[in-house]
A and B are shown apart, each in its own frame.
Chain A
Amino acid sequence: MLAKEIERAGIPTVFVTSLPTIARMIGANRIVRGPAITHPFGLEAAERRRIVERALEMLETHVEPTTVWEAAP
């Protein structure tokens, strides 16, 4: 709901979560799938960087509603 309300205010928001199904159900638009509930940005800095870069890329992209990207392309 946070993602949706911030996007409703016009600020592009990317939601990194390991539960994209729920994120889609509530209507988040920009979703990146993280690797695990306990560490959605991964364990190591290198993996974290890949996920954040993917998320930033999504902020710069026109998306259809409730789009999910995998963290590692």
Chain B
Amino acid sequence: MVRAVHYLNQFFAGLGGEEAAETPPTRLEGPVGPGRGLAAELEGIEITATLACGDDYFAEHEEAALARLLDLLQAEGAELLVCGPAFGSGRYGYACARLAATAPIAALTAMHEENPGVGAAGAALVVPTAVNVAGMRDALPRMARLAEAVAAGRELGHPEDEGYLPRGFRRNRHAEETGAERAVDLLLSKLAGETRTEVAAGFDRVPPPEPVPDLSEAVLALVTEAGCVPQGNPDRLPTIRAPGWLRYPLPDEAGLESGRYESVHGGFDVTLANEDPNRLMPLDVARTLEREGRIGGIHDAFYTTTGNGTPVAASTRFGQEIAAELRDAGVQAVLLSGT
């Protein structure tokens, strides 16, 4: 028998409603509330104890609540932690996710996919549920199946097949069919109305900053990932998988003159760009607009890299480093060109 601990909030643990939301972490013997239903579904796993905490207490004293819950968990000698299901409840979902993410043992939780807790679950498994408690009967068996798989130490398959939310991890595998065959299969299923992908994107979102109040008063910087460099590529910017970015002073002339600048981007034919490098980074037009007063000024250096096969982590770092320089230089707007 694998020893498991179940986590619930004050309500599902039967300690009370909102009036009990300040309840500090507490231990209850065996399965409680939904834990009984879960226990009935579990094979080879025994819920030895239930840990419960008030939603408000957790939200207001997260560090203390987590530390106490982890102590209680450790004292239990459990191999598996199951939290929730929290459905659409934000505070409860967050507490479940934080505890599951922090626990030093295998952990899973369950909640609605739009519960803010999903983003806090880290590497912990999250079983998607309905938005409210009406989904309990459906959620418990699915949590139990995943718990059994985890307890057995089985390597999990695709989130869709195993019934958990994608965590943004990618795993290499050998496919039976060639890429061409799989691409045609995906295209055919898309034509049939089903959109699938082998490479799901899991990028975070940044809220758009406020617009520039008055560009005629602002300094604009030119940044490019099109591999623009001085002719001859003096600093050897790679054509693919650039390990960094470069800064070059912007010349006084009216534009990027052919023969003085070139692109070393290895991902497209640079013939047209090298005939007129302004086609990639429009210094000529920017200068004109500066002269006409449309732009207050142009930052006195441009920033460049080759956006070709660059890992996400690397390009994120480039962006952060360039942003820090631009901020220090008082730049208020950026014109970024890519291909």
Residues of A near any B CB (own CB < 8 A): 1-19, 23, 25-27, 29-30, 34, 37-43, 45, 48-49, 51-53, 55-56, 59-67
> Across the interface, do A6 and B339 meet the contact criterion of CB distance under 8 Å?
no
> Across the interface, do B279 and A48 meet the contact criterion of CB distance under 8 Å?
yes
Shortest Cβ distance from residue B214 to the other chain A in the assembled complex, whole angstroms: 8
| Residues of the A chain whose Cβ atoms lie less than 8 Å from the Cβ of B73 | none
| Residues of the B chain whose Cβ atoms lie less than 8 Å from the Cβ of A43 | 272, 276, 279
| Residues of the B chain whose Cβ atoms lie less than 8 Å from the Cβ of A56 | 215, 220, 289, 294-295, 333, 335
Closest A residue to B303 using CB positions: A2
> Across the interface, do B278 and A48 meet the contact criterion of CB distance under 8 Å?
yes
> Across the interface, do A59 and B337 meet the contact criterion of CB distance under 8 Å?
no
Known pairs A7-B209, A39-B280, A41-B278. 20 more at Cβ < 8 A?
A4-B203, A4-B206, A6-B334, A7-B206, A8-B323, A15-B338, A16-B337, A19-B338, A19-B339, A27-B205, A29-B207, A38-B273, A38-B279, A52-B282, A52-B335, A53-B289, A53-B294, A55-B335, A61-B211, A63-B208
CB < 8 Å neighbour of B318 from A2, A25, A42, A65? A2
B50 at the interface (CB under 8 A from A): no
Residues 269-324 of B contacting A (Cβ, < 8 Å): 269-273, 276, 278-282, 284-286, 288-289, 294-295, 305, 307, 310, 312, 315-316, 318-320, 322-324
B156 at the interface (CB under 8 A from A): no
Q: Tell me the count of chain B residues lying within 8 A, CB to CB, of chain A.
A: 59
CB < 8 Å neighbour of A16 from B204, B294, B320, B335? B335
Residues 211-240 of B contacting A (Cβ, < 8 Å): 211-213, 215, 220, 223, 225-226
B336 at the interface (CB under 8 A from A): yes
> Across the interface, do A39 and B279 meet the contact criterion of CB distance under 8 Å?
yes
Shortest Cβ distance from residue B280 to the other chain A in the assembled complex, whole angstroms: 7
> Across the interface, do A62 and B332 meet the contact criterion of CB distance under 8 Å?
no
Shortest Cβ distance from residue B289 to the other chain A in the assembled complex, whole angstroms: 7
Give CA–CA (A12, B278) in the complex, Å: 22
Closest A residue to B334 using CB positions: A13
| Residues of the B chain whose Cβ atoms lie less than 8 Å from the Cβ of A65 | 205-208
| Residues of the B chain whose Cβ atoms lie less than 8 Å from the Cβ of A45 | 278, 284-285
B201 at the interface (CB under 8 A from A): yes
A-B contact pairs, 13 of them (CB 8 A): A4-B316, A11-B327, A12-B211, A17-B337, A27-B203, A38-B339, A40-B279, A40-B339, A48-B282, A49-B285, A53-B289, A53-B294, A62-B208
